[in-house]
Structure 1
Amino acid sequence: MQQLIGRLTQNAKVCELKDGRKVTNFSIALNDSYKQKGSGEVKKIVTYVDCAYWINEKVAAYLIKGSIVEVNGRIGVRAYLNLQNEAKGVLTCLV
């Protein structure tokens, strides 16, 4: 289990599957920064994480773009080739 704290990049969306189950999907941005050795220049890094919450879809009403959230969940990685045949990856979290 990992704990992540970040800002919502957009309002959460509830999706209903063919079998009737509902999942709340949202994405968070994790901001970090560091000083480069030598130049002292501050570098900012943003990591995006796609999250899925399966327990109660009513929580989506509270997940508003720009809000800071803390989530606990299982981290995963999804890799794929895009239409230009470039390797891409997505960081996921099952909340």
Structure 2
Amino acid sequence: MEITGRLTRDAQVRTTQTDKEVVGFTIAINDSYRKKGATEVTQLVTYIDCSYRRSAAIATYLTKGTIVQLSGRLNEPRIWQDMEGTPRANLSFTVGEIKILGGGTKSNGGSTQETKLTKDSKAAQAVAVPTDAVADDLPF
């Protein structure tokens, strides 16, 4: 399953009892809809707690506001009652792959330079278009 959302805060690295590092973060997925016959649009935000176990090094890139596309497994919702007896639920996602799409706060260190180099190399690849592909008969 793939989901795309924006990090609500910087990712945190935790260590399990078996000394494995887990990167934990929460994403927000924004959606809007209009009820049939209504004129006002209702905004809906879904928060999903995510855990990534492959490499803790990615945590420096997962800063508040970063838009990410995640591939992985949606876990069963956890349902409980708070102290006042109000029912609550929590969605969690086990991440297998992370794609950073943009946004976020600037982090200290060399990560900005690495991101810039990656963007520049992708732009160079996009510019290298064969000349025969440009001579298309497009109606516009």
TM-score category, normalised to shorter length: over 0.9
- Identify the structure with bigger relative contact order (alpha carbons < 8 Å, sequence gap 6+): 1
Unaligned runs of 5+ in 1: none
Q: State the Cα deviation string for residues 5-35 of structure 1 (Å, max 9, x = none).
A: 0000000000012221110000000011112
1:78-93 alignment runs, 5 A limit: 78-93=78-93
SS in 1 for 2:25: strand
Matched, 1:51 2:50: yes
CA distance in structure 1 between the partners assigned to 2:93 and 2:37 by the alignment: 36
Which residue in the other structure is 1:21 paired with? 20
Higher helix share: 2
Distance 1:85 1:73 in 2: 32
Which residue is 2:69 aligned to? Answer: 70
Q: How high is the TM-score relative to the length of structure 1? A: 0.93
Say yes or no: does 1:9 pair with 2:37.
Answer: no
Flag the structure with higher strand content.
1
Matched pairs, number: 94
| 1:32-61 CA-partner distances (Å, limit 9, x unpaired) | 111222222111100000000011001100
Separation in structure 2 between the aligned mates of residue 80 and residue 56 of structure 1, nearest angstrom: 31
Deviation, structure 1 residue 78:
1.1
Alpha-carbon distance, 1:73 to partner: 1.1
Q: Which runs of 4+ in 1 moved over 3 A?
A: none
**Structure of larger gyration radius:** 2
Identity %: 38
Q: TM-score, normalised by structure 2?
A: 0.64
Deviates more, 1:66-75 or 1:35-44: 35-44
Q: After TM superposition, give the deviation of residue 69 of structure 1 in Å.
A: 0.4
CA RMSD of aligned residues (A): 1.0
What CA distance in whole angstroms lies between the structure 2 residues aligned with 1:43 and 1:85? Answer: 27
Is residue 2:40 matched to residue 1:41? yes
Structure 2 gaps of 5+ residues are 96-140
